[in-house]
């Protein structure tokens, strides 16, 4: 790979106490030098004119639908979509067709990734064979193959004995199980938060207790056996309280939250971007807001932000879940759950910065530093920092640039986002992965 200089970058990386205008020397896809003025003749220069450069974003929760539902997304379109959103590393879930549950399937997936991915695409394997919850996959063999971890996401590992056995095998291989926290018995075909809105719309409620019950169960298992836990897409105040208390007891828990749960509340289900006056008898909805777990109350949303700030929640991941327009053009009950999150995740978080709910340093910490630190521990992968010797993965942003979200600009095959026609603040200008420009705003 070529050697070049990035000049006049406003570098921000809270993990390295960086907040300065500086230059970067890149060679063979790695950071070689960080200095105020790097001047080497005959080298290509990328002058950022004081645009903000942060560590490349890392997304530990994406669904690229490949193989199985490539009409919705595939590794090529998904990785381009993530690159546009500023992501340089992503972790795919195992709920494909066929399921990522054996080395043979993963070998074929690796070939697709090598051929079509424009960024670093990593893979989970399922926890159970076929994600049926009946028999563990060969965790030892799959760990040796190189999967990052194991997940039956969008389904919980319901059998506690099976989950406990899986946690032990994962621990012995320095891996994690990424748990989708929803008790099937308590979901009861629910599709929307259990609140007056579900009554008003006549939709089956999906109780937050379904989430907190699994979290409570898994914490008991971890406490008894000294296991580590990873909880996906935390959404409720009760869940946060359980995790916060467990961490105080010394239980090692990594908790994830999505941009849509941080940015939106249940009122967005109406298709409105704000508070709904009580006198309005609304009976319409936006199926693009259907997601599991559902969007919760404003109180829950604010508590999620507080939980990030106090360390109860560790990182932000998109749960990028593309669906076709035909899929979403349905009743709320029959529309598939999921929001297309890759391209707009950073902009929604920068809008929260604009709203003074988060700082840009916090956004970088939760979207780059923290997931990078986890990958470093699991895979010895040097990502998520602006530091000598680390991968030359960068996200360059216009912090103050506002824009109206348009369905015409999506690189994903799908446009199932409730943010279309919303105004967001902060836009990705360029994404560099391994020293190569993989996205640049036109």
Eight-class DSSP state of 368:
I
Peptide bond between residue 67 and the one before it cis (omega within 30 degrees of 0): yes
Q: Supply the DSSP symbol for 336.
A: P
d(CA 215, CA 133): 17
The per-residue pLDDT for range 196-231, each reduced to its tens digit, is: 989 888 999 999 999 999 999 999 999 999 999 999
Q: Is 110 helix (H, G, I), strand (E, B) or coil?
A: helix
pLDDT tens-place string over residues 339-388: 999 999 999 999 999 999 999 999 999 999 999 999 999 999 999 999 99
400 pLDDT tier (thresholds 50, 70, 90)? confident
**20 dihedral zone (left: phi>0; alpha: psi -120 to 50; beta):** beta
Where is 331: in which H helix or E strand?
none
Note the pLDDT of residue 274: 52
Q: Which pLDDT belongs to residue 281?
A: 47
Of the candidates 59, 194, 319, 327, the residue annotated as catalytic is 319
**Domain limits, the chain:** 56-383
Least confident of 280-294, 401-415, 416-430: 280-294
The pLDDT of residue 280: 44
Share of the chain above pLDDT 90, in %: 93
Count Cβ atoms within 10 A of the Cβ of residue 396 and give its class: 0-12 exposed, 13-18 middle, 19 or more buried: buried
Over residues 311-336, mean pLDDT:
96
pLDDT of residue 28: 96
Alpha carbons 152 and 149: distance in angstroms, whole number = 11
> What does the pLDDT read at residue 271?
66
Catalytic site includes residue 23? no
What are 5's strand-pairing partners? 25, 45
163 close to 170: Cβ distance less than 8 angstroms:
no
Q: Decide if 201 contacts 269 (C-beta within 8 A).
A: yes
The whole-model pTM stands at 0.97
Residue with the two structure tokens 């095959």? 413
pLDDT for 226-246, tens place per residue?
999 999 999 999 999 999 999
304-341: burial string, b at 16+ Cβ within 10 Å, e else: bbebbeeebbbbbbbbbbbbbeebbeeebeebbbbbbb
Q: Whole-angstrom Cα distance, residue 246 to residue 9?
A: 41
| Span 130-188, pLDDT tens digits | 999 999 999 999 999 999 999 999 999 999 999 999 999 999 999 999 999 999 999 98
* Closest C-alpha among 116, 206, 104, 89 to residue 154: 206
Mean model confidence pLDDT for the chain: 95
Residues 6+ away with beta carbon under 8 Å from 338: 63, 290, 291, 292, 319, 321, 322, 323, 416
Residue 418 has pLDDT above 80, yes or no: yes
- For the cut 90, the answer to whether the pLDDT of residue 278 exceeds it is no
Whole-angstrom CA distances from 357 to 107, 109, 301 are 43, 39, 11
Environment class of 365 (CB within 10 Å of its CB; exposed 0-12, middle 13-18, buried 19+): buried
Average pLDDT over residues 303-313: 98
The C-alpha atoms of residue 12 and residue 195 are separated, in whole angstroms, by 41
Torsion of CA 228, 357, 369, 149, to 10 degrees: 40
CA 119/CA 27 separation, integer angstroms: 18
Assess whether pLDDT exceeds 70 at residue 275: no
Q: Three-state SS for 88?
A: strand
Q: For 56-383, which CATH superfamily applies? A: Metal-dependent hydrolases (3.20.20.140)
């Amino acid at each position: 790979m070529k050697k070049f200089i990035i000049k006049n970058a406003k570098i921000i990386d809270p993990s390295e106490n960086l907040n300065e205008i500086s230059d970067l020397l890149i060679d063979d896809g790695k950071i070689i030098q960080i200095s105020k003025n790097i001047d080497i003749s005959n080298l290509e220069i990328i002058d950022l004119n004081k645009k903000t450069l942060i560590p490349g974003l890392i997304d530990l929760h994406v669904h690229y639908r490949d193989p199985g539902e490539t009409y919705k997304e595939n590794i090529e379109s998904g990785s381009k979509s993530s690159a546009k959103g500023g992501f340089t590393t992503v972790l795919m879930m195992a709920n494909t067709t066929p399921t990522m549950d054996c080395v043979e399937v993963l070998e074929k997936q690796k070939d697709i990734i090598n051929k079509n991915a424009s960024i670093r695409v990593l893979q989970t394997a399922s926890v159970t064979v076929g994600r049926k919850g009946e028999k563990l996959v060969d965790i030892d063999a799959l760990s040796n193959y190189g999967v990052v971890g194991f997940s039956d996401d969008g389904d919980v590992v319901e059998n506690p004995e099976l989950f406990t056995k899986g946690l032990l095998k994962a621990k012995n291989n320095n891996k994690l199980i990424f748990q989708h926290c929803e008790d099937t018995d308590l979901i009861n075909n629910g599709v929307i938060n259990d609140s007056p809105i579900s009554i008003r719309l006549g939709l089956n409620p999906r109780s937050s207790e379904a989430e907190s019950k699994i979290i409570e169960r898994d914490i008991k298992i971890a406490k008894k056996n000294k296991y580590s836990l990873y909880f996906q897409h935390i959404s409720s105040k009760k869940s946060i309280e359980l995790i916060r208390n467990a961490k105080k007891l010394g239980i090692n828990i990594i908790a994830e939250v999505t941009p849509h749960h941080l940015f939106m509340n249940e009122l967005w289900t109406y298709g409105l971007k704000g508070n709904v006056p009580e006198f309005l008898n609304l009976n319409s909805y936006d199926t693009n807001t259907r997601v599991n777990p559902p969007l919760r109350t404003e109180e829950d949303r604010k508590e999620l932000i507080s939980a990030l700030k106090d360390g109860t929640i560790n990182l932000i991941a998109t749960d990028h879940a593309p669906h076709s327009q035909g899929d979403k053009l349905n009743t709320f009950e029959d529309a598939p759950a999921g929001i297309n999150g890759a391209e707009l995740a950073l902009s929604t978080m920068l809008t929260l910065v604009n709203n003074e709910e988060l700082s840009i340093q916090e956004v970088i910490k939760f979207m780059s530093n923290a997931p990078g630190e986890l990958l470093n521990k699991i895979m010895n992968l040097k990502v998520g920092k602006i530091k000598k010797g680390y991968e030359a993965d960068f996200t360059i942003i216009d912090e103050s640039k506002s824009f109206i979200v348009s369905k015409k600009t999506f690189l994903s095959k799908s446009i199932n986002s409730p943010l279309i026609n919303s105004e967001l603040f902060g836009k990705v200008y360029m994404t560099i992965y391994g020293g190569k420009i993989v996205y640049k705003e036109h």
